[in-house]
Structure 1
Amino acid sequence: MFYVVGLGLCDEKDITVRGLEAVKSSSRVYLEAYTSILMVKKERLEAFYGKDLIVADRDMVETQSDDILKDADKENVSLLVVGDPFGATTHIDMVLRARALNIPTKVIHNASIMNAVGACGLQLYNFGQAVSLVFFTETWKPDSFYDRIKENAALGLHTLVLLDIKVKEQSEENLARGRKIYEPPRYMSIPQAVSQLIEIEELRGDGVLSPDSTLAIGLSRVGGMEEQRIVSGTLAELHIHPEEAFGEPLHSLIIVGKRLHHLEVDYAQDFAVNRDSWRSVAKDVYNCNLDE
């Protein structure tokens, strides 16, 4: 059996009982280590699970999948994924590869950022399509996310913006020269994300992300961690808010949609940079009835 096991968002204890049973029954256990990161070191996982873990980086997952799946039709093999197994298309591809080899598969789900964002008080059924925001470079500033946010905004829906992480990445020069030299890990912060959103708004000019009239919520380390931080405000307020106030990575950002319920406003105002500003924009721009 090939197991794809979700680990949740916090530490070694977030694994489900079913997931832990799968891990303990496996002859090989891989830890996928590039689509997201867990907040504890590999050694803590190994001690709790009672198993040695093989770190599966991008190269291994994308080019050596046959090695991961080897003999999984005769013995149990587990691939551990931070969050939920289907939070990234990479893992869907692994399951399809296993099926093509007639290897039995089982997916064991867990909490992910897609549902943990409910910690900010916004109702999950009011979210539209999620988007990813990558690190801009001088020559590469993809803006397709803007159209997805615009589509959500037209329906009044919130948008979850997943912020880029760079783990075990090579510089263009090292990649071109075939040198296995990797850059230090980088994690996009909420202020950097907001800066990029505002930059694209200035280029596109449709008013979808107007800094002074667009409400947003920044989150870090959600999922029950003691270091969890939530900060709400306009994009302009989040842009100039002290970076340390957002906490340690990983960060995520929510663009608040116009279909905003007064209970969402009330809940998220406890995290606001400026409570009065939060409520006034919700009332005057979002037409939210705060007297209910």
Structure 2
Amino acid sequence: MFYLIGLGLGDSKDITIKGLEIIKKCDRVYLEHYTSILTCGIDELEDFYGIKLITADRDLVEQCADEILDGADKGDVALLVVGDPYGATTHTDLILRAKEKNIKFQVVHNASILNAVGCCGLQLYSFGETVSIPFWTEEWKPNSFYDKILSNFERNLHTLCLLDIKVKEPTLESLTKKKKQYMPPRFMSVDIAAQQLIQIINSDRSSSTGLSVNSLCIGLARVGSTCQRIHVCTISEMSKVDLGPPLHSLVIPNPVLHPLEEEYLNQFKS
């Protein structure tokens, strides 16, 4: 059996009882840790689970998925995922591969930022399409996510912005070489996301939605952990805010808040 198990958002104890019971009986347990991160280390997970984990980086999950599934038709193999297993398309691909190999599988769900974003007080059913904000470089500054934010804003829907994570990313120079070299890990913070968003807003002369650098936004940091932080201010002000260590997310609320949403947000304004 192949198990895809969500770990939740905080630390080692966020795993479900069902997930923990499965882990303890598995022959091999992989930990995928490049699409998101926990606030604890791998050592803490191993101590709590009572097993040795196999680190599954991007290359293993995306290019050598069959290695993970090997033997799952005869024994029990699990892949642990931060948040919920279906929070990334990579994990959906693993399920399809298991089906092709006639390997039985089971998914154990957990909390993810897609539902935990409700901690800021915005109503979940008022969220529109989620977007991802990538790191810009001097040569590459994609802004297609901005159109989706505007579309949500025009329809009075909130936007959850997932911020870029760079873990074990090969350098451009090493892509043409036999031996890959990797960039240091990077995690986008809310101030960087706001700075990029400001550049797009200032260059957009066609928008009539009312979204501006003075529009409200919400910075989220380490959601689900004991050191969780929520900060509410304008996009312009957010570009100077330091919410500490990762992971961060940014929310652009719709322009017409429900009175309860507005009241709840007020406690996080500086």
What is the TM-score normalised by the length of structure 1? 0.89
* Structure 2 CA distance for aligned equivalents of residues 81 and 89 of structure 1: 12
For residues 52-72 of structure 1, the C-alpha deviation after alignment (integer angstroms, 9 at most, x for no partner) is: 110000000011111100111
* Structure 2 CA distance for aligned equivalents of residues 154 and 93 of structure 1: 33
* Structure 1 CA distance for aligned equivalents of residues 3 and 120 of structure 2: 32
* Structure 2 CA distance for aligned equivalents of residues 271 and 158 of structure 1: 17
Deviates more, 1:131-140 or 1:179-188: 179-188
Question: Does the CA contact (< 8 Å) of 1:2 and 1:78 recur in 2?
Answer: yes
Question: Displacement of 1:186 after TM fit?
Answer: 0.5
Q: Per the alignment, in what secondary structure is the counterpart of residue 233 of structure 2? A: strand
**Residue of structure 2 equivalent to 1:277:** none
Question: Displacement of 1:201 after TM fit?
Answer: 1.4
* Structure 2 CA distance for aligned equivalents of residues 207 and 11 of structure 1: 43
What is the TM-score normalised by the length of structure 2? 0.96
For residues 119-141 of structure 1, the C-alpha deviation after alignment (integer angstroms, 9 at most, x for no partner) is: 11111111111000000011111
Pairwise mapping of residues 221-232 of structure 1 onto structure 2 (< 5 A)? 221-223=222-224, 225-232=225-232
**Residue of structure 1 equivalent to 2:254:** 257
Identity across the alignment (%): 56
1:172 maps onto 2:175 in alignment: no
Structure 2 residue identity aligned to 1:22: I
1:248 maps onto 2:250 in alignment: no
**Residue of structure 2 equivalent to 1:98:** 98
**Residue of structure 2 equivalent to 1:76:** 76
Q: Per the alignment, in what secondary structure is the counterpart of residue 194 of structure 1? A: helix
Structure 2 residue identity aligned to 1:253: L
Question: Does the CA contact (< 8 Å) of 1:216 and 1:234 recur in 2?
Answer: yes
**Residue of structure 1 equivalent to 2:52:** 52
Unaligned runs of 5+ in 1: 274-292
Question: Does the CA contact (< 8 Å) of 1:228 and 1:247 recur in 2?
Answer: no
Question: Does the CA contact (< 8 Å) of 2:213 and 2:236 recur in 1?
Answer: yes
Question: Does the CA contact (< 8 Å) of 1:227 and 1:247 recur in 2?
Answer: no
* Structure 2 CA distance for aligned equivalents of residues 19 and 134 of structure 1: 32
For residues 189-232 of structure 1, the C-alpha deviation after alignment (integer angstroms, 9 at most, x for no partner) is: 101000001111122231554101x1100000011x22111000
Question: Displacement of 1:177 after TM fit?
Answer: 2.2
Q: What is the alpha-carbon root mean square deviation over aligned residues?
A: 1.1
Unaligned runs of 5+ in 2: none
Structure 1 residue identity aligned to 2:260: L
**Residue of structure 2 equivalent to 1:6:** 6
Question: Displacement of 1:182 after TM fit?
Answer: 1.4
Q: Per the alignment, in what secondary structure is the counterpart of residue 267 of structure 2? A: helix
Pairwise mapping of residues 200-215 of structure 1 onto structure 2 (< 5 A)? 200-205=200-205, 206=207, 208=209, 209-212=211-214, 214-215=215-216
- Which fold has the larger relative contact order, with Cα–Cα distance below 8 Å and residues 6 or more apart in sequence? 2
For residues 96-140 of structure 1, the C-alpha deviation after alignment (integer angstroms, 9 at most, x for no partner) is: 100111101110000000111111111111111100000001111
